[in-house]
Structure 1
C-alpha cells in the first residue's frame, strides 16, 4: 500500500463513485448475480466479478452472460438482475468514512460531485434514505441514463462529463477521483485524473496497481495530502 506521506499533486475538485465507495451496495449486486448463475448451475467467480464491478447495467448484463455462458438474452438477464438486486436495496447503508469526508469537503467549499454508472431508477432506490447526504454534492452524473456519457467505465467519458459540469470548469489534472473498482480506476486515469482506490478486500492486489493511492477505507484519507483542508 502506498504511503500516506507520499507527495501528490494538489487538486481543486473531488469526484466520487457511489456503489461500493459511498454506499454499501456491491453485496446486493453480488448476491443477485450469484443467484442467477446458480440457477443455471454456474458459479459467479471473483474473476468474473472483477470484470463487472463498476460497469453500467447493460455492460454488467452482457459480461455476466458471456463470461458464465448463461442461456439468457440481455433483456432476460436484466429483468432477473433488477428484480433480485432491487428487492434487497431498501435500506442501503453508507460505508465507513463517507459521511465524515463528504460533509468536511462540503463545509470547506471544495466542489464535489458523484459519477456513478447507475441509472435514475436505481439511484433513486439506493439513495432514498440518504437524500440530505446527496444534496451536499454540486451535481450527480448517472452513467446509465445520461445522454452525454457515451461509453461506460473503464472509458473516461463519465469523469470528463462530470468535471465539465463544475462551475469552476477544472482541468482533469485538478480533479481527484474516489473509486472502488478496477474499471473506475482505469476510467479516471484515462481521463487524466488522480484516483484514490478503496477496493474490496478480496480484490487481487495486481488490480490496484494503477491507483494513485490505495486505502482500506475512506476513514484513512488525509485531505491535506492532496492540498485540501485537513479535518
Structure 2
C-alpha cells in the first residue's frame, strides 16, 4: 500500500513517533488493556481500540474507561496496568524498516528525533533492548517532557522536538501511525507521513502528505533526503 501524493520539501529533519511506528508495542497495549477489561466482563476490541491509538496515557485511560464503562478511575487504571506493561515492553520488536531507516538517516547526518506520547519511564522500558539504534536519535521528546503541556493531537511534542533539533517546523517531516499524530504534525506546520495499522480506515489519514504500507516504502530522494545505496 503506497498512496503517493506530490512530494514536497526538501526536508532538513525527521521526527518519528514510536509506538506502532518504530516499535511494535500496540499489541502489548491491546493485550494488557483487554486483560483489565475482562476483569469486569468487558472486551477491548478493535471498535474501541481504533479510536485510542496515539492518545496520551491520561486521555487513553479516560477514553477506555468511558467507552467500556469500567468501574475505576483513570488513576486506578494506570496504576493497575503499569507493572503489566513494564513486564512486556522490553520484548517489543522493531517495525519493518524502522531500524534501517533510522541508521541510514543518522549515517548521513540528518537530524532525527523521537516524538512520543509515551512517558519517559515507558520510553526506557520499550527501548531497553534496542539502545544501540535509539542512541542515534539526537533528541527524544516524551509526553511528560517539561516543554509539553498537551499530548497529541496537540502539536507540543513535535514543536519541542523541532526546537531541540534547531530546525524550522516547516522543514521537518514526521512519521506517524495514528490519525491523532498526523493531526499533531500538521498543526505544528510539518509534513506528515502516515504508516497506518492495516486495520485502520484509510480515510482517517486524508490529512497526511503521504500514506505508506511500511517505512521501507518511503521515497527518500523525492523529499530531498539521501537515498539508500543500490
- Give the TM-score band, short-chain normalised: over 0.9
Is 1:4–1:225's contact at 8 Å kept on the other side of the alignment?
A: no
Q: Tell me the CA shift for residue 76 of structure 1.
A: 1.3
Inter-CA distance 2–98: structure 2 relative to 1 (3 Å threshold): closer
Match of 1:14 in 2: 14
Q: Which residue of 2 aligns with 1:222?
A: 219
1:133-144 matches, within 5 Å, as 133-143=133-143
SS in structure 2 of the partner of residue 52 of structure 1: coil
Which stretches of structure 1, 4 residues or more, deviate above 6 A after TM superposition? none
1:33-68 deviation digits (Å, cap 9, x = unpaired): 111122212222323222221122111111111121
Answer yes or no: is the 8 Å Cα contact 2:61–2:77 preserved in 1: yes
SS in 2 for 1:102: helix
Report the Cα distance in structure 1 between the residues aligned to 2:181 and 2:170, rounded to whole angstroms.
16
1:179–1:195: 8 Å Cα contact kept in structure 2?
A: yes
Structure 1: distance between partners of 2:7 and 2:146: 37
1:156 corresponds to = 155
Q: Tell me what 1:196 maps to.
A: 193
Shift of 1:7: 2.6
Instruction: Check the 8 A contact 1:56/1:152 in 2, yes or no.
Output: yes
Q: Please state how far the C-alpha of 1:5 moved relative to its aligned partner.
A: 7.0
* Structure 2 residues without counterparts, runs of 5 or longer: none
Tell me, yes or no, if the aligned pair for 1:14 and 1:112 is still in contact at 8 Å. yes
Q: Which residue of 2 aligns with 1:70?
A: 70
What's the CA shift string for 1:157-195, capped at 9, x where partnerless? 1111110111xx222110000000111111111111111
Cα-to-partner distance string for 1:58-95 (whole Å, 9 max, x where unaligned): 11111111121110012211122223222222221111
* Conserved? CA contact 1:16–1:113, under 8 Å: yes
TM-score with structure 2 setting the length = 0.94
RMSD: 1.4
User: What residue ranges of structure 1 are gaps of 5+ in the alignment?
Assistant: none
Contact 1:54–1:181 (Cα < 8 Å) also in 2: yes
Moved more, 97-106 or 87-96: 87-96
* SS at structure 2 position matched to 1:154: coil
Q: CA deviation at 1:147?
A: 1.7
Structure 2 residue 30 is matched with structure 1 residue 30: yes
Q: Map residues 34-183 of structure 1 onto 2, 5 A cutoff.
A: 34-143=34-143, 145-166=144-165, 169-183=166-180
Q: Is the 8 A contact 2:13 2:167 kept in 1?
A: yes
Q: Which residue of 1 aligns with 2:204?
A: 207
